[in-house]
Structure 1
Amino acid sequence: MDMEKFLEFCREGNPISGEDKELHGLLTQCSYEAQRITMELNTSYHSKEEIVEIFSELTGTEVDSSFMCFPPFYTDFGKNINIGKNVFFNTGCSFQDRGGIHIGDGSLIGMNVTIATLNHGLPLETRNTTFASPVTLGKNVWIGSNATILPGVTVGDNSVIAAGAVVTKDVPKNVVVAGVPAKVVKAIPE
């Protein structure tokens, strides 16, 4: 399988077994490229424009010039992050994006936020297999510092994830969620 087909395979959410040497080799190649690019991002000063260029290289798509990130930023894959317009990442974010991370326009991501899109099988037979599920953030989502968003979660437009929350289920639009696991604590007036 060539790299383009592999990236499409990943974007489709297919599982990858630790036993599959071909897929694991391609996955490792993507991870090393993401490490190279994020090391460049994280180890010296860059202008806002340079950061946009680096994220465009990392994701393999054109990132809008309105994007802003305060490094460091970490990812294990890089090629399955979709960033809308007027999006902000604060320092220390860590994305596990092979399953797909879609970030809507106007979203704000606080310090040290983790977004994960992979899980392992529970039975021993599939423990070394990773299963991908995308994370989707709607428009104008605000994620507080040290929050964790788990695989398969969709956060509705205008919602707020409180600092330190662990989001295990979908979040409706126009609400604040907090806690471990995160629960709706109040509505946001429209």
Structure 2
Amino acid sequence: MTIPLANLINAGTVHWTGDLPHQVDAIVAQASNNLIDFNQTTTETKRRAILGQLFGAPLDQATVLNPPFQTDFGAHTFIGKHVFINRDCFFVDLGGVYIEDNALIGPRVMLISVGHHEDPAYRRDLVLKSVRIKQGAWLGANVTVLPGVTVGEHAIVGAGAVVTKNVPANTVVAGVPAKVLRTIQQ
């Protein structure tokens, strides 16, 4: 049975059986090939074309995504306008990664939309929960955002933070796990 992979975004628990592993593996293999090309290409026009194939839509002309970049899937990453993504980021996007307009993503950020069950009997199954980076948010270097988390509008996440819960809009968070330090004064 073929599962429409678009239905997997934010799907919750997905049993890793039947045709699903083969479907996902084929897309991951194609994404890997695209990323090898992207990360070795020096021409901006070619890089943008490769990212368009990877994400299934062209990037906004004002959006910057610097190599090297890695993603396991690619087709479930959605990037808004005037976004900046620094070097060496990794997106695990099978569950959906959404980055809204004017967001800033620091180097070595990981956005993770896939987890696994605690129960060992079901550990191979996937738990898919989208990650959302709202408009104008800024993620510092080496931030990790875990499945199901939304980083609110204009929020700032300090370098090295591990974000396990939603971040309110207009706040500064940092730490492991990330905690609210203060509200941003407008």
Pairing 1:44–2:41 present: yes
**DSSP 3-state at the match of 1:119:** strand
Distance in structure 1 (CA, Å) of the matches to 2:49 and 2:41? 15
Map of 1:30 onto structure 2: 27
Unmatched runs of 5 consecutive residues or more in structure 1: none
| Preserved CA contact (<8 Å) 2:10 2:130 | no
- In the comparison of the two structures, how many residue pairs are matched? 186
Map of 1:163 onto structure 2: 159
The letter for the 2-side match of 1:182 is: A
How far residue 12 of structure 1 moved from its aligned partner, in angstroms, is 5.0
- TM-score, normalised to structure 2, is 0.95
Distance in structure 2 (CA, Å) of the matches to 1:89 and 1:75? 13
| Preserved CA contact (<8 Å) 1:52 1:67 | no
Distance in structure 2 (CA, Å) of the matches to 1:161 and 1:76? 24
Structure 1 vs Structure 2 CA RMSD: 1.3
The letter for the 2-side match of 1:172 is: P
Map of 1:182 onto structure 2: 178
- TM-score, normalised to structure 1, is 0.93
Identical-pair percentage: 36
Map of 1:55 onto structure 2: 51
Change (3 A) 1:174 1:67: same
| Preserved CA contact (<8 Å) 1:6 1:26 | no
Unmatched runs of 5 consecutive residues or more in structure 2: none
The letter for the 2-side match of 1:32 is: A
The letter for the 2-side match of 1:22 is: D
Map of 2:149 onto structure 1: 153
The letter for the 2-side match of 1:21 is: G
Map of 1:6 onto structure 2: 4
Deviation sequence 1:163-186 (CA, Å, 0-9, x none): 000000000000110000000111
